[in-house]
Copies of this chain bind each other. A is one copy, B any other.
Amino acid sequence: MAFRELMYREALREAIDEEMARSPEVFIIGEGIAERGGSYKVTEGLLAKYGPKRVRDTPIAEAGMIGVGVGAAIAGARPIVEILYVDFAMLGMDMIVNQAAKFRLMTGGEGRVPFVLRTQGGAGGGVAAQHSQSLEALFYHIPGLRVVMPSSPADAKGLLKYALRQSDPVMFLEHKHLYMTKGLVPDGEHIVEFGKADIKRPGKDVTLIAWSNMVPTALAAAEELAAQGIEAEVLDPRTLVPLDKAMILASVSKTKRAVIVQEANRRGGVASDICSIIQEELFYDLDAPIEIVAGLDIPIPFNLTLEKASVPQKSDVVAAARRALHQDPLGLAAQ
């Protein structure tokens, strides 16, 4: 297979571009996405190519935009709604939770909602508490939504293309720190199905489960662990809903140790749920408590030192893996 190196944002743009070319029902709306090409430059060039009917700027009306997207999807279109920060999706939460997620069941399966909400989350750069959240757990809990969190350009492209061909509402959660990261993307039609995890690095001693921007962190931790003679397997679920339980359980059955890494704060996060699944299925196989490495239970502070202290760092993952291996139980290495 041939590959090209692309930035995450370029890969997203390719996905949208290819799907807009393929299906006239695909369109995109968002704040500043048309003329200006979007705050993350994902939509650059699309206005020129597809015109103002299918690439539209909106006023600052998140509930309206999301609701209109949901309505368009019900009526047979394939809208992409870009919300600048996942934090702002809270303004349209009713449309996500009570309309998009429920429509299919409420109509006895008749109504489908092929709606894609693209947004981004994560801390970094001092944008403070209202622009730094990782809110996937909120969507993860609501039956009917798909939750997608790509960590690489190839996954970003493949998953977004898949999102635009299936028929349920998708929360497509990008990460502000990933837009400019680069990676190899296969040439030609590249589609990644939902519900298939990916082993980003194979290993046998401990499973590191991470998604979105925590994948690079987990990979860096695995590198460091390798230098210490520990072979960590890095597993990226890629889609949290549907979740590839089979692959998670297969990896942890093998390593007998799991460390789950999430940027979101610890309490009630997706990591807790994955933990509950592993302990239910592999209770008798685990050699150590499942470790969760997560953000502090606190809104993200503006101060950059404290911001960094609020979200998991490589050293936290290394320390957790070592604890899981019953090495360094006092965590001295992390200090």
How many copies make up the complex? 2
Q: Which residues A267-323 have CB closer than 8 A to chain B?
A: 267-273, 275-276, 279-280, 283, 286, 288-292, 296-299, 301-302
Is residue A93 within 8 Å, beta carbon to beta carbon, of the partner chain? yes
**Most B-side CB within 10 Å, residue of A93, A135, A283, A302:** A93
Is residue A98 within 8 Å, beta carbon to beta carbon, of the partner chain? yes
Is A297 within 8 A of B143, CB to CB?
A: yes
Q: What residue of chain B has the Cβ atom nearest to residue A139's Cβ?
A: B268
Give the segment of A9-17, A25-33, A70-78, A100-108 that binds chain B.
A100-108
8 Å CB contact of A275 from B129, B137, B141, B272: B272
Q: Which residues on the B side are within 8 Å of A138 (C-beta)?
A: 138, 141
Is B299 within 8 A of A101, CB to CB?
A: yes
Interface residues on A, range: 35 or more
Is B301 within 8 A of A105, CB to CB?
A: yes
Q: What residue of chain B has the Cβ atom nearest to residue A130's Cβ?
A: B98
Is A267 within 8 A of B280, CB to CB?
A: no
Is residue A199 within 8 Å, beta carbon to beta carbon, of the partner chain? no
Is residue A140 within 8 Å, beta carbon to beta carbon, of the partner chain? yes
Is residue A123 within 8 Å, beta carbon to beta carbon, of the partner chain? no
5 residue pairs of the A-B complex, CB under 8 angstroms, read: A98-B130, A101-B299, A138-B138, A143-B298, A273-B273
Q: What residue of chain B has the Cβ atom nearest to residue A297's Cβ?
A: B143
Is residue A34 within 8 Å, beta carbon to beta carbon, of the partner chain? no
Q: What residue of chain B has the Cβ atom nearest to residue A85's Cβ?
A: B98
Is B141 within 8 A of A129, CB to CB?
A: no
A203 smallest CB distance to B (angstroms): 22
8 Å CB contact of A267 from B63, B94, B241: B241
Complex alpha-carbon distance, A229 and B33, angstroms: 65
Q: Which residues on the B side are within 8 Å of A296 (C-beta)?
A: 143
Is A276 within 8 A of B298, CB to CB?
A: no
Complex alpha-carbon distance, A298 and B168, angstroms: 14
A62 smallest CB distance to B (angstroms): 8
CB-defined interface of A95-135 with B at 8 Å, one 1/0 digit per residue? 01110011001100000000000000000000011100101
8 Å CB contact of A140 from B94, B267, B271, B290: B267
